[in-house]
Amino acid sequence: MGPVWDVSPHPDATPEEGPGNFRTHDIRPFPGGMRPPSFALVGPKLRDWLDLVNAIPTSAGHPMERLAEAHAGFEQVHPFLDGNGRTGRLLLNLVLARLGYAPAIIQKRERPRYLQALRRADTGNHGPLAELIARTVLDNLYRFVVPALAGPARLVPLASLETPQISRVALRNAAQRGRLRAQRGDDAQWRSSRAWVEDYLADRYARKPAKARDERPS
């Protein structure tokens, strides 16, 4: 947060509330109505939060629900004046990595759903946030891990073959129309390979008609 603070420090910050320091005054309730604890309770609340995180491996219930509870818990404490969301998501990924999971990279387009899930977690319902985290972990496995491990001829889910050039929806449509070589498994999921996708893209761009020449009368 240091470089951010140099450009645009928080307008309500005291000299003691710079980057890396806990807030020293209370803050307004969240849009959903949840009020963060008094600044005097930040230290004790974070110690309780660390106990919660350390207990995840042996806790009852699904680990993703416990992770969602821990992530929401950090945001509820809101220990800093600014940067709590970024810090909380970095801590979430640290815990995921220590538990053997892939990171959860929440895309900008998912922000409204993520914030809504956090608000529901504030009421004690951690299910939507747990599902979002789990889906994000799975999506990142498909997008980053599987393609890095699979060779160009290996069949992988279409989500692993998405690129800036073509989305998974376009790949699925091409597979369904028979234009992209792909196989549909017993689980109803389409699979293809990087080599087949490259062949499809090369053929698609070769067949794309050239733009008509401007023939305005002289």
- Catalytic residue IDs: 78
The model's pTM is 0.71
Each domain of the chain, given as residue ranges in start order, spans 14-149, 152-208
Q: For the chain, what percent of residues have pLDDT higher than 70? A: 91
Tell me the β-bridge partners of 192.
156
With helix as H, strand as E and coil as C, how does 115-150 read?
HHHHHHHHCCCCHHHHHHHHHHHHHHHHHHHHHHHC
The encoded tokens of residue 62 equal 């699904």
Class of domain 14-149: mainly alpha
Residues 161-211: pLDDT tens digits? Answer: 888 889 989 999 999 999 999 888 877 888 888 888 989 998 877 665 555
Q: What is the mean pLDDT of residues 88-117?
A: 92
Residues 32-53: pLDDT tens digits? Answer: 788 999 999 999 999 999 999 9
Residues 64-88: pLDDT tens digits? Answer: 999 999 999 999 999 999 899 999 9
Q: How confident is the model at residue 216 (pLDDT cuts 50, 70, 90)?
A: very low
**Contacts with 133 (C-beta within 8 Å, 6 or more apart), sequence order:** 64, 67, 68, 71, 92, 104
- Which pLDDT score is estimated for 161? 87
Length of the chain: 218
**Residues 20, 122: Cα–Cα separation, whole Å:** 25
Tell me the β-bridge partners of 140.
none
